[in-house]
Amino acid sequence: MPDESGKKQLLHLVFGGELKSLSSVEFRDLKALDIVGIFPDYKSAEVVWKAKAQETVDNAHMRYFIVHLHRLLDPESRQD
């Protein structure tokens, strides 16, 4: 469904947490995950992701991710 500007919403989730090891994507404590938020497009999600990643640059085990929720909600969609 399009938003007020007429653009289709392409929802993205930004979240992060501390990894158990640098060679996997397994989190040390699921209760401590930082759910940053859901954003209407990749560009706005990327801005927040970069800021959160920069805040935690001193912790090599801390990682933030962008999840393309719109792809999960509508797997037939080929848009980014």
Domain count, the chain: 1
Question: What are the backbone dihedrals phi and psi of residue 25, each rounded to the nearest 5 degrees, phi first?
Answer: -115, 55
Q: Is residue 25 situated within a structural domain? A: yes
Task: Give the CATH number of the domain where residue 58 resides.
Answer: 3.30.70.2400
Alpha helices in the chain (DSSP H): 42-55, 69-73
Q: How far apart are the first and last CA of the chain?
A: 15
Q: Is the pLDDT of residue 3 over 80?
A: no
Number of H helices, E strands in the chain: 2, 3
Under the banding of pLDDT at 50, 70 and 90, the label for residue 76 is confident
Q: Is residue 52 situated within a structural domain? A: yes
pTM score, whole prediction: 0.82
13-62 residue pLDDT tens: 999 999 999 999 999 999 999 999 999 999 999 999 999 999 999 999 99
Q: Is residue 80 situated within a structural domain? A: no
DSSP-derived pairing of the beta strands 12-18 and 34-39 = antiparallel
Strand, helix or coil at 61? coil
Domain membership of residue 63 as a residue range: 12-73
Q: Is residue 63 situated within a structural domain? A: yes
